[in-house]
Structure 1
């Protein structure tokens, strides 16, 4: 019998766009819209939010038992020690985080995180019972086959230290050339890559493949079920826009209003 399909994942990264007060105002609005949204209330979808480190504890407390998950945008590869300015997976788990982003293209480009560091951070997430949101994607636009090859290599490299560590992974396919672009990558391209990558995480129960990279309304339905959700950026900083995405998920998945 095939494994049941995981819940549709809708993730939002706030990056470093919103300050503390605006982050809390934004999250209050999100809590309000999510309180009775059919996509979330039915269990068809789940929402996770990745704010800046300074707001993690406040948002975890505000989320309470609403079902909205909170996670971090980064973590240290070590669990403790003399690592000035770092935040460990132990600390993230203790304050109630459920997710942590690993391997984003900006971390690789701006902070020179290579495959070795990504692998160490992924292992740190899993051993601390945090679900990694592992970002993969090809730097340059090309064929589907090339994209799949690059992403599979990134995934294999990231898992090199984690073969014996259990836990699901949310694999976020974000072609680097589409991040921050005016339009997402072509739907056919995204569908083919996501469908191929699903098989690569199938061995970890609960794992899924979501798409990020200029994602917004209309995209989830256009992906035709080949992606298990969306990873949203600046678009979702407008709660009304986030609602439209959740409305679309409910419609596509046949959730009664």
Structure 2
């Protein structure tokens, strides 16, 4: 796979911080900011991942734009007696394009495993959506140790998803999530390059894009662009103007 086959990508998850009203306002403000520079989206993909309740309204708000809407999770079966779970088939039906999976919070709070993330990724891909799988090492340390821990997570996903399906890997060192500063740029680039070089990534037919997340914000992508394809943002981008600023930087760096 060549670098030219991978479009840059930047997005945000609202987690469970927003009310329904705030989500509507946020999506509208981002839409207006992007509409002022429509050419910005010619060479970059932008996504927003709201909570499940407001997902359909966000899809309706952004109809006719190039912005992709994602879900924060989905089950690994498309239908059945799974009370309380979210069907990937239904997500696809209403226009969801991306499904975030395997976030460190899901693993820590709900005990989700690499196998859970892989099964969910496969279900998302089989329903025509792009799995965005969060990976990352738990403790800060050596690059080699980080890669070894992440390799298991990546190999599990790649063994489960169809070979031709697009996959997004969000590299988020667990120790950097919510921290005052992101991981050091040299460290992130080194880990990212080694993950991209894994056989299970290199030999795939489908496009695999790699994002960095973990206290990411404006000014960071320029330092990471030799290793990653974009940024996955959290609370910093909950300000629409900061999100837009980062989109500009990723799109023009």
Asked if these proteins are the same fold (TM beyond 0.5), I'd say yes
Worse-matched range after superposition: 182-191 or 114-123: 114-123
Deviation at 1:38, TM superposition (A): 5.9
- How do 1:85-164 residues align onto structure 2 when only pairs under 5 Å count? 85-162=84-161, 164=162
**Any idea what SS the aligned residue of 1:60 has?**
helix
Q: Tell me the equivalent position of 2:177.
A: 179
Distance in 2 (alpha carbons) for counterparts of 1:8 and 1:190: 17
Unaligned runs of 5+ in 1: 253-257
Q: Tell me the equivalent position of 1:76.
A: 75
- Residue by residue, what CA displacement relative to the aligned partner does 1:135-163 show, whole Å, maximum 9, x if unpaired? 1000000111111111111111223333x
Q: Is 1:232 matched with 2:233?
A: yes
Instruction: Check conservation: 1:7, 1:46, Cα contact below 8 A.
Output: yes
- How do 1:29-40 residues align onto structure 2 when only pairs under 5 Å count? 29-37=29-37, 40=40
Instruction: Check conservation: 1:75, 1:100, Cα contact below 8 A.
Output: yes
- Residue by residue, what CA displacement relative to the aligned partner does 1:188-241 show, whole Å, maximum 9, x if unpaired? 000111112223334243221010000001100011421100000000000111
Distance in 2 (alpha carbons) for counterparts of 1:2 and 1:53: 35
- 1:2/1:46 CA distance change after superposition, 3 Å: closer
- 1:89/1:171 CA distance change after superposition, 3 Å: same
Worse-matched range after superposition: 17-26 or 120-129: 120-129
Distance in 2 (alpha carbons) for counterparts of 1:110 and 1:21: 27
Deviation at 1:165, TM superposition (A): 5.1
- Residue by residue, what CA displacement relative to the aligned partner does 1:49-88 show, whole Å, maximum 9, x if unpaired? 1000001111111111210000100001111111111111
Q: Is 1:5 matched with 2:38?
A: no
| TM-score normalised over the length of structure 1 | 0.93
CA RMSD of aligned residues (A): 1.6
Distance in 1 (alpha carbons) for counterparts of 2:14 and 2:79: 26
Q: Tell me the equivalent position of 1:27.
A: 27
- 1:204/1:178 CA distance change after superposition, 3 Å: farther
Give the paired residue count. 250
Distance in 2 (alpha carbons) for counterparts of 1:247 and 1:143: 32
